[in-house]
Each structure stands twice: as structure tokens, then as C-alpha cells.
């Protein structure tokens, strides 16, 4: 894998990739370099969806998943420089949301502001027991601008999201689990291992089918039920002529595990 300045990208198995924020001394805050490197990684997966079957996104250290935008770097920025940097962050969130490969966020500490927004952009979240979340932008005189005002309400409901976003109040992993924002709480030393175990299970399934199912859920959920059903059938029909569909049925009848090729 490519060497990066602010992140680490490891192919831990043939079809599994672990992406790690690697600025623990800065609470893994996102500076321009990190935003650009993450954007390059996720846009790369969109251009080459067969390059992996599942991605786990986590962070170095044990205290912070990501503290959001690096305010030390932003301190001297002009308005134009701030907006130019934020354009990178906007594209990053869209790249994560649009990534055809499933993304699991393994949140190992505080996920505040942009860090919370990145977690929210993943397909689902596993969190360490001590993890905390917050969208604190209004305390800085701005608003969430990397999907927070859209993804959080879709996950936990509009009224609760308004309470959290308008007050900037942090919430715990337990709250996040109860509200449906987090799928599972893990002991810190088991978080990545458990996330990889789930990623491995996803990767063992037909990759074309997984990508089509992800698209049907993500996009269909924004449609009427009738449009969503039509979209689902389009996604379903893309699986029918594949070698993987034939292999899955053959393996079932031969009572063996399928060997999916992604074709």
C-alpha cells in the first residue's frame, strides 16, 4: 500500500483494508494533508471497487478517534483558505458516503465535530466503551458542514439531532447505542479485532451482491417505497448474470463454501 504522512493504510488480508488516522499527538484532528490523503484513498476505492471487499476505519491511540478539523492549522487561515480546505473535507465525506465498498467505523475514542461526521458517513459504527461523540461546531460559530446536519438526523431522528447539534452537547457510546447511531459497544482492546471479524464476514459474501445491496439500502432509503422497490430490482438484476451468482448456487448444492471472484 502507499505510504502516507497522516494516515496508515494496511491490507490486513487480501480483501480487507484497515485505514488508520495517524495524528495521535493532535487527537487525530484533520488537517489539510489528512483530508487530502483520505480523499485520495476513498476516491481510489470508488474508481476500483474490486480492490477490497470491506474497509475498517479507526485511529491511532486510545483517547481520540478524531477531534474534527485542526483548529491550530486553521487559526491563521483567511476566509478563502478556510473554504478551500473545507472543499476537500466536503469531497471526502461524499467519497466515504459514495464508496461502493462497505465501511465500518471502529471509533476508539472521542469523535467530535468532523470526527463524528466521518463516523456518521460510514455504513455502521462499532464504538469503544469510553468513546464519546459530539457535533460541537455551533460552539465555534459555524455549523456541521461535512454531513452532520443530514446524517445524524437520519440515524437518530430530527428532534434528538436538533437538540445535540444546536447545543453542541457530547453524548456517550451508551447513548449512541440506545439511539441507533452505534451498532455495538466493545471493550477498547477488542474493538478493532471485532470490527475486522465483521468485515471478514462481509468480505466472504459475493462482492457484487454486497455492493448492490449497499446501494439499494442507501439510495432506496431516500426514495418512496415504490421507487425504492424499483431501485432494488435494478440492483437485484445486476447480480443475476454474474459468475458469483452461479457459484453461490452451485456451492450451496455441493454443500461447500462458495469461492466468489467478484465477476
What b-and-e string marks burial along 108-146, b requiring 16 or more CB atoms within 10 Å of the CB? bbbbbbbbbbbbbbbbbbbbbeebbbbbbbeeeeeebbb
Does the annotation count 117 as an active-site position? yes
Identify the active-site residue in 13, 43, 90, 137.
Answer: 137
Does the annotation count 247 as an active-site position? no
User: What DSSP string describes 211-252?
Assistant: HHHHHHHHHHTTS-HHHHHHHHHHHHHHHTTSHHHHHHHHHH
Bridge partners of residue 11, in order along the sequence: 17
Determine phi and psi for 143, rounding to 5 degrees. -125, 165
Q: How far is residue 193's CA from residue 108's CA, in Å, rounded to a whole number?
A: 12
C-alpha cell at 30: 484533520
Identify the active-site residue in 81, 90, 117, 193.
Answer: 117
Active site residues: 117, 137
Amino acid at each position: 500500500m502507499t505510504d502516507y504522512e497522516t494516515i496508515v493504510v494496511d491490507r490486513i488480508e487480501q480483501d480487507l483494508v484497515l485505514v488508520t488516522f495517524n495524528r495521535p499527538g493532535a487527537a487525530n484532528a484533520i488537517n489539510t494533508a489528512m483530508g487530502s490523503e483520505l480523499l485520495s484513498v476513498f476516491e481510489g476505492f470508488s474508481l476500483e471497487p474490486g480492490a477490497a471487499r470491506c474497509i475498517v476505519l479507526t485511529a491511532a491511540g486510545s483517547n481520540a478517534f478524531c477531534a474534527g478539523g485542526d483548529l491550530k492549522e486553521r487559526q491563521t487561515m483567511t476566509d478563502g483558505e478556510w473554504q478551500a480546505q473545507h472543499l476537500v473535507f466536503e469531497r471526502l465525506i461524499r467519497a466515504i458516503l459514495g464508496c461502493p465498498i462497505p465501511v465500518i467505523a471502529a471509533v476508539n475514542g472521542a469523535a467530535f465535530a468532523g470526527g463524528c461526521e466521518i463516523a456518521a458517513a460510514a455504513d455502521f459504527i462499532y464504538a469503544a466503551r469510553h468513546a464519546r461523540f459530539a457535533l460541537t461546531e455551533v460552539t465555534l460559530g459555524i455549523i456541521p458542514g461535512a454531513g452532520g446536519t443530514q446524517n445524524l438526523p437520519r440515524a437518530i431522528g430530527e428532534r434528538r439531532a436538533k437538540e445535540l447539534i444546536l447545543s453542541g452537547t457530547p453524548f456517550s457510546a451508551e447513548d449512541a447505542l440506545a439511539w441507533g447511531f452505534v451498532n455495538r459497544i466493545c471493550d477498547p482492546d477488542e474493538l478493532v479485532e471485532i470490527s475486522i471479524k465483521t468485515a471478514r464476514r462481509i468480505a466472504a459474501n459475493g462482492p457484487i451482491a454486497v455492493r448492490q445491496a449497499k446501494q439499494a439500502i442507501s439510495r432506496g432509503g431516500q426514495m418512496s417505497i415504490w421507487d425504492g422497490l424499483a431501485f432494488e430490482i435494478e440492483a437485484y438484476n445486476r447480480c443475476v448474470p454474474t459468475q458469483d451468482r452461479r457459484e453461490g448456487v452451485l456451492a450451496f448444492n455441493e454443500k461447500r463454501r462458495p469461492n466468489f471472484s467478484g465477476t
